[in-house]
């Protein structure tokens, strides 16, 4: 079926055809309309302008679609020497899909978030001076504030992890020290997440980690971490540095054992 579209603002024709089922189409069968610059007969050459539904001839406009001008990004223009013409049904299906996608994108809403929305805790980062162009031997992340009790402290635990991850990315060091001497922590299971800081997902090894405790968190951390407490928690920065140096030597030894197993063609590890 063909209709004259000179009233729409130019020469051309509105054409319709019954479309067969199309996988992934919003409507699997029905009448589809398109506008063409030439006569839409089989084998005709010319440029097919793709439009979303426009308010012409009683057709509803696709919400969010701009039909004031043809969209050059949606042309189907075969090469001149191919003697082929764009199939009108395909043109309509592409146009329809793009119109729906644009409408959905218009519903996206962004909300600004900050770390202060997540937690009232604060932190600061310090590194040990060392030779130029070499990573610092120790990275210290100090935390201040009160960790909320129970599950309400989950955002606080996430804040601690996020702050340490950002610090390790910006000032990478083999050894990370969490300074909790100014942190108040009474109870909350998610605080145990801090024991995974520095865990390498590839080697399955953990970079050296130490936690300096104070009066506001010592007893609660001992109760939470149990057997892990003695291998992680100390009372001063000097003790943390000493512990990290010991762990760094052990980590290097484990890394040397891991490298041959990771090389191509290495025999699989059947131990255990």
pLDDT of 162 over the 50 cut: yes
162, 243: one domain: yes
144, 240: one domain: yes
pLDDT of 207 over the 60 cut: yes
CB 160 within 8 A of CB 180: no
- Return the pLDDT at 131: 87
73, 154: one domain: no
- Return the pLDDT at 54: 46
Q: Would residue 271 count as lying in a domain?
A: no
Beta strands in the chain (DSSP E): 2-4, 13-19, 30-36, 48-49, 122-127, 138-146, 175-184, 209-212, 233-234
Instruction: Provide the pLDDT confidence category of residue 6 given band limits of 50, 70 and 90.
Output: very low
Q: Would residue 185 count as lying in a domain?
A: yes
21, 155: one domain: no
CA-CA distance, 25 to 10, in Å (whole number)?
A: 30
- Return the pLDDT at 201: 86
CB 8 within 8 A of CB 46: no
Q: Would residue 252 count as lying in a domain?
A: yes
- Return the pLDDT at 28: 45
- Return the pLDDT at 132: 85
Q: Single out the residue in 105, 133, 151 at which a domain terminates.
A: 105
**pTM value?**
0.58
Q: In this structure, how many other beta carbons lie within 10 angstroms of the beta carbon of residue 272?
A: 3
133, 67: one domain: no
CATH number for the domain harbouring residue 213: 3.30.750.24
72, 155: one domain: no
CA-CA distance, 110 to 68, in Å (whole number)?
A: 28
Segment (H or E) for 224: helix 218-225
Q: Domain range holding 13?
A: 2-105
Which pLDDT tens digit goes with each residue over 85-139? 555 555 545 444 445 454 455 789 999 999 999 999 999 999 999 888 899 999 9
How far, in Å, are 87, 120, 226, 233 from residue 47 at the CA level? 11, 61, 74, 73
Please list, in sequence order, all residues whose beta carbon lies within 8 angstroms of the beta carbon of residue 79, skipping any fewer than 6 positions away.
none
Q: Stretch 26-36: mean pLDDT, rounded?
A: 47
83, 128: one domain: no
96, 149: one domain: no
Q: Would residue 216 count as lying in a domain?
A: yes
pLDDT of 196 over the 50 cut: yes
Q: Would residue 110 count as lying in a domain?
A: no
Q: Stretch 210-234: mean pLDDT, rounded?
A: 97
Number of structural domains found in the chain: 2
Phi, psi of 157 (to 5 degrees): -65, -40
Instruction: Provide the pLDDT confidence category of residue 64 given band limits of 50, 70 and 90.
Output: low
- Return the pLDDT at 5: 44
238, 160: one domain: yes
CA angle 245, 248, 250 (to 5 degrees): 115
Q: Single out the residue in 105, 137, 157 at which a domain terminates.
A: 105
What share of the chain has pLDDT > 90, as a percent? Answer: 51
CA-CA distance, 184 to 235, in Å (whole number)?
A: 15
124, 167: one domain: yes
95, 123: one domain: no
Q: Would residue 272 count as lying in a domain?
A: no
């Amino acid at each position: 079926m063909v209709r004259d579209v000179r009233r729409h603002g130019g020469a051309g024709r509105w054409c319709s055809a019954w479309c067969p089922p199309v996988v992934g189409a919003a409507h699997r069968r029905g009448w589809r309309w398109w506008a063409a610059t030439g006569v839409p007969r089989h084998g005709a050459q010319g440029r097919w302008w793709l439009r979303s539904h426009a308010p012409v001839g009683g057709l509803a406009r696709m919400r969010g679609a701009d039909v004031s001008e043809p969209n050059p990004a949606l042309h189907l223009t075969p090469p001149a020497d191919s003697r082929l013409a764009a199939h009108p049904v395909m043109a309509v299906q592409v146009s329809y899909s793009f119109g729906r996608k644009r409408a959905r994108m218009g519903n996206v809403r962004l909300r600004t978030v900050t770390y202060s929305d997540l937690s009232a805790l604060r932190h600061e980062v310090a590194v040990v001076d060392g030779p130029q162009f070499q990573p610092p031997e120790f990275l210290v992340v100090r935390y201040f504030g009160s960790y909320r009790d129970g599950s309400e402290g989950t955002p606080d635990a996430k804040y601690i992890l996020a702050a340490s991850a950002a610090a390790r990315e910006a000032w990478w060091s083999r050894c990370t020290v969490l300074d909790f001497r100014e942190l108040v922590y009474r109870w909350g299971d998610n605080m145990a997440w801090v024991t995974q800081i520095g865990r390498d997902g590839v080697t399955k090894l953990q970079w050296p980690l130490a936690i300096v405790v104070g009066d506001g968190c010592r007893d609660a951390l001992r109760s939470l971490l149990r057997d892990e407490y003695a291998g992680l928690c100390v009372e001063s920065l000097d003790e943390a540095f000493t512990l990290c140096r010991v762990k760094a030597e052990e980590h290097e030894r484990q890394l040397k054992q891991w490298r041959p197993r990771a090389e191509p063609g290495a025999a699989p590890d059947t131990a255990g």
